[in-house]
C-alpha cells in the first residue's frame, strides 16, 4: 500500500500544475488562428494596419506562449517523476501519442514560432504567412495527440493487459486514434481555445474603444475576433463533450455524477438544474428538475435510459468481486503456476482486474479482501459528486454567457454600431476571465470525474503514483507553488503592460501613445483631441 498522504499530495501537484498549464494552452490554440487571419488579410490587401495587428497580438501571444512551454515541460516530466507506476503500466499505449506529438506537431510549432517573432525582416510576406499558418496548424495538431492520449485515459480502447509484462499493451493503434472520446474531446477543446482567444481579443479591443483610442486598430481586431469567436462558441456548445459520455463505464459514471443522478430514471430522464448532492447519503437534496432534458442531452433519444450512480455501483461491486479472482490468478500466473487452466480463468476475469486493484488501497492482497474492504472500494468507485455537479454548471453557464455576448457583439458589429454600445463593450472587457473559468472547470469535470481511475477501469489512481515519501512531495509542491506564483505575477504584469500600451508598443509611430507623446509637446494638456488625428491616417 502506498502512503495515502503522498498520493493525495501527488494528485494535488498534478492537478495544480496541469490546470496552471491550461491557463496558457487555450489562448495559444485560438490566438494562433486569429494571427493567421489577420496576416492573411495583410498579405492579400497589403494594408499595414493588419501587419501591425498581427505583430501586436503576436506580442501578447508570445508572452502567453513562453509560459505555455515552461509549464508544458512540467507535464512531460511529471508522468515519470510522480506517476512512475502509471508510466510503466500504460507507457506502451500512452507514451506513443505523446512521442508522436513531439515528432509531428511540437517540433513544427516550436521551430516556426521563432521565425514568426524574429523573421519579419528576413522572410517574404508569403513565407512569413506560411510560417504563421504552420505554427497554428502545429499547435492544434499538438492538441490532437495530447487529447488522443487523454481520451485513452478516459476510455482505454485498442489495448489489452498482459500478465507476462504486467502492463497494458497496444493491440490496435487505429483504435487508439479514432477513440470516440478522444475525437469529441479534441473538437471541444480546440473550439474552447478559439473562444478563449476571441474573448481575449474582444475584451482588450473593447477597452481601446471605450478609451476612444486606436479605433481603427481596435475595430478591425474586434471584427476578426467576433466572427471567429461566434463560430467557436457554437462549436463548443453544439459539439459539446456530451456525445462522448455514451462510451465506457467511466464516462457513464461521470455523466451520472455531473447530473447527480443516484437512481436510474425511466427514459427520458430529467435534468437537475440545481441541487445539493451528497455522497454520504447517496442522494441529492433540494433538487430542481427539468423533465426530459437530461435524456435528450445525454442519449439524444427519448427512450434510452441514463443509468444512476447506485445502479452503477451495484455493477461495480460485481466487477470488484470478479477482479479479486483476476488478481488471485494473476499472482498464480506470475508465480510458478503458469498453466493453461489458470490462464483460462484469468482471461475470463481480466477485464475486471482494474476493479480488483481498487482494493489495493485497503489491502496488499486484493484476493483476500474482507466484505468491509469491498464495501469501501465500491464507495470509492464513483467520484465525489458535488464538485462535479457544480463545476459542470459553472462551465455551462460560462458557455451560454459567452454565446449571448458573441451573438450581441456579432449583431452590433455587423450593423457597425458596436462602438456606441458602451455597455456591451464593458461586458466584453469584464468577461475576459470567463473563458478561462469555463476551460478550468471543464477540465476539472473531465479529470476529477474520471476518479477513482488514472486509466478508466484499468488502473486506480491510488496505485499509479511513484514510490516516494510525503516529504518529497511537500518539497516539490512548495517549489512549484513558489515558482509558478512568481511566473504568473511576471506574466500578468507584462500582459497588462503591453495590453495597456496597445499597438503603440510596436513603436511604429502610428499609434495613440506615440502621437500623444509628440502632440503633448505642442499642445496644452493631453485631452482626447490628438487621438483623432492618427486614426485618419490608418483608414
Q: Is 198 in the site for another protein (CB under 8 A)?
A: no
Give residues 240-269 in contact with another protein (rule: CB under 8 A): none
What does the DSSP 8-state code read for residue 171?
S
Backbone angles phi, psi at 468, to 5 degrees: -110, 175
Chosen residue from 175, 292, 472, 519 binding another protein by CB under 8 A: 472
Kindly indicate which of the ranges 212-220, 318-326, 398-406, 473-481 contains the residues binding another protein, using the contact rule CB under 8 A: 473-481
Contacts (CB under 8 A) with another protein, residues 59-118: 62-63, 65-67, 69-70, 73-74, 76-77, 79-82, 84-88, 90-96, 98-104, 106-108, 110-115, 117-118
Separation of alpha carbons 326 and 503, rounded Å: 64
The three three-digit cell numbers of residue 39, written as one number: 496576416
Interacting residues with another protein between 411 and 470 (CB under 8 A) = 466-468
C-alpha grid cell, residue 389: 455537479
Residue closer to another protein (CB basis): 65 or 444: 65
Task: Give one DSSP letter per residue of 325-366, joined into a string.
Answer: HHHHHHHHHHTT---HHHHHHHHHHGGGHHHHHGGGGT-S-G
Residues 299, 301: Cα–Cα separation, whole Å: 5
Alpha-carbon radius of gyration of the chain: 26
Nearer CB in complex with another protein: 81/235: 81
Question: Considering the rule CB under 8 A, would residue 400 count as an interface residue with another protein?
Answer: no
Closest approach, Cβ 84 to another protein, in A, equals: 4
Helix (H) or strand (E) holding 529: helix 529-538
User: How many positions of this chain bind another protein (CB under 8 A)?
Assistant: 79
Q: In 109-240, where do the E strands start and end?
A: 159-162, 167-170
Segment interacting with another protein, rule: CB under 8 A, options 244-252, 311-319, 436-444, 485-493: 485-493
Minimum CB distance to another protein, residue 99 (Å): 4
Q: Interface with another protein includes 164 (CB under 8 A)?
A: yes
Q: Which of 3, 8, 19, 119 binds another protein (CB under 8 A)?
A: 119
Q: Which residue has the cell 487571419?
A: 37
Q: Which of 44, 479, 492, 529 binds another protein (CB under 8 A)?
A: 479
Instruction: Read off φ and ψ for residue 169, nearest 5 degrees.
Output: -130, 145
Query: Minimum CB separation from another protein for residue 80, in Å?
Result: 3
Beta carbon nearer to another protein, 162 or 414? 162
| Cα dist from 407 to 169, 419, 433, 520, whole Å | 47, 16, 18, 40
CB of 480 vs another protein, minimal distance in Å: 9
Q: Least CB distance from residue 319 to another protein, whole Å?
A: 20
Nearest approach in angstroms of CB 335 to another protein is 8
Q: Which of 224, 498, 510, 514 binds another protein (CB under 8 A)?
A: 498
Under 8 Å CB-to-CB from 294, ≥6 apart: which residues? 259, 261, 268, 269, 270, 271, 272, 306
- For 42, 205, 233, 300, 497, the CA distances from 220, given in Å and listed in that order, are 12, 9, 20, 40, 21
User: Residue from 170, 333, 474, 519 that binds another protein (CB under 8 A)?
Assistant: 170
- Nearest approach, Cβ of 498 to another protein (angstroms)? 7
Among 12, 133, 173, 411, binds another protein (CB under 8 A): 173
Question: Is 353:323 a contact under the CB 8 Å cutoff?
Answer: yes
Least distance to another protein, CB of residue 510, Å: 13
Q: Does 511 bind another protein (CB under 8 A)?
A: no
Smallest separation (angstroms) from another protein to the CB of 17: 11
- Give yes or no for residue 121 binding another protein (CB under 8 A): yes
Distance CA 138, CA 189 (A): 15
Q: Say how many C-beta atoms besides its own lie within 10 A of residue 516's C-beta.
A: 19
Torsion sign, CA atoms 335, 340, 346, 350: positive
Smallest gap from Cβ 221 to another protein, in A, equals: 19
Binder among 120, 133, 362, 436 for another protein (CB under 8 A)? 120
Q: What is the C-alpha separation between 528 and 538, in angstroms, rounded?
A: 17
Question: Is residue 333 close enough to count as binding another protein by CB under 8 A?
Answer: no
Amino acid at each position: 500500500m502506498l502512503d495515502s498522504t503522498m498520493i493525495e499530495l501527488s494528485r494535488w501537484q498534478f492537478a495544480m500544475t496541469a490546470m496552471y498549464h491550461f491557463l496558457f494552452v487555450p489562448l495559444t490554440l485560438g490566438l494562433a488562428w486569429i494571427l493567421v487571419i489577420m496576416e492573411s488579410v495583410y498579405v492579400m490587401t497589403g494594408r499595414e494596419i493588419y501587419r501591425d495587428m498581427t505583430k501586436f497580438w503576436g506580442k501578447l501571444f508570445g508572452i502567453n506562449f513562453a509560459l505555455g512551454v515552461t509549464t508544458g515541460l512540467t507535464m512531460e516530466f511529471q508522468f515519470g517523476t510522480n506517476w512512475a507506476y502509471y508510466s510503466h503500466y500504460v507507457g506502451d499505449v500512452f507514451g506513443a501519442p505523446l512521442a508522436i506529438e513531439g515528432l509531428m506537431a511540437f517540433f513544427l510549432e516550436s521551430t516556426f514560432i521563432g521565425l514568426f517573432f524574429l523573421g519579419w525582416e528576413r522572410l517574404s510576406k508569403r513565407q512569413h504567412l506560411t510560417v504563421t499558418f504552420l505554427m497554428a496548424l502545429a499547435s492544434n495538431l499538438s492538441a490532437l495527440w495530447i487529447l488522443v492520449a487523454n481520451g485513452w485515459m478516459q476510455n482505454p480502447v485498442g489495448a489489452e493487459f498482459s500478465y507476462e509484462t504486467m502492463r497494458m499493451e497496444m493491440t490496435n493503434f487505429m483504435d487508439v486514434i479514432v477513440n470516440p472520446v478522444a475525437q469529441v474531446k479534441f473538437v471541444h477543446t480546440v473550439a474552447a481555445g478559439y473562444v478563449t482567444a476571441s474573448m481575449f481579443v474582444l475584451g482588450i479591443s473593447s477597452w481601446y474603444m471605450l478609451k476612444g483610442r486606436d479605433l481603427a486598430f481596435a475595430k478591425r481586431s474586434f471584427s476578426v475576433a467576433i466572427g471567429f469567436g461566434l463560430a467557436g462558441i457554437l462549436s463548443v456548445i453544439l459539439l459539446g463533450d456530451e456525445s462522448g459520455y455514451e462510451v465506457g463505464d467511466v464516462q457513464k459514471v461521470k455523466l451520472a455524477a455531473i447530473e447527480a443522478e443516484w437512481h436510474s430514471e425511466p427514459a427520458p430522464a430529467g435534468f437537475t438544474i440545481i441541487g445539493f448532492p451528497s455522497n454520504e447519503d447517496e442522494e441529492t437534496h433540494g433538487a430542481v428538475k427539468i423533465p426530459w432534458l437530461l435524456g435528450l442531452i445525454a442519449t439524444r433519444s427519448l427512450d434510452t435510459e441514463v443509468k444512476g450512480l447506485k445502479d452503477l455501483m451495484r455493477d461495480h461491486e460485481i466487477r470488484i468481486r470478479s477482479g479479486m479472482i483476476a488478481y488471485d490468478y494473476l499472482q498464480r500466473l506470475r508465480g510458478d503456476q503458469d498453466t493453461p487452466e489458470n490462464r483460462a480463468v484469468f482471461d475470463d476475469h481480466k477485464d475486471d482486474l482494474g476493479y480488483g486493484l481498487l482494493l489495493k488501497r485497503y489491502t496488499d492482497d486484493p484476493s483476500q479482501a474482507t466484505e468491509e474492504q469491498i464495501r469501501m472500494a465500491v464507495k470509492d468507485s464513483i467520484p465525489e459528486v458535488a464538485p462535479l455537479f457544480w463545476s459542470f454548471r459553472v462551465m455551462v453557464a460560462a458557455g451560454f454567457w459567452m454565446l449571448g455576448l458573441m451573438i450581441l457583439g456579432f449583431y452590433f458589429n455587423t450593423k457597425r454600431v458596436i462602438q456606441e454600445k458602451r455597455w456591451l463593450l464593458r461586458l466584453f472587457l469584464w468577461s475576459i476571465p470567463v473563458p478561462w473559468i469555463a476551460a478550468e472547470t471543464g477540465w476539472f469535470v473531465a479529470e476529477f470525474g474520471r476518479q477513482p481511475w488514472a486509466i478508466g477501469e484499468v488502473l486506480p489512481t491510488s496505485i499509479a503514483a511513484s514510490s516516494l515519501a510525503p516529504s518529497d512531495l511537500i518539497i516539490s509542491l512548495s517549489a512549484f507553488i513558489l515558482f509558478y506564483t512568481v511566473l504568473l505575477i511576471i506574466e500578468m504584469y507584462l500582459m497588462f503592460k503591453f495590453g495597456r500600451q496597445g499597438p503603440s508598443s510596436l513603436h511604429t509611430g502610428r499609434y495613440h501613445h506615440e502621437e500623444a507623446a509628440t502632440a503633448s509637446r505642442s499642445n496644452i494638456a493631453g485631452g482626447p483631441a490628438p487621438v483623432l488625428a492618427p486614426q485618419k491616417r490608418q483608414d
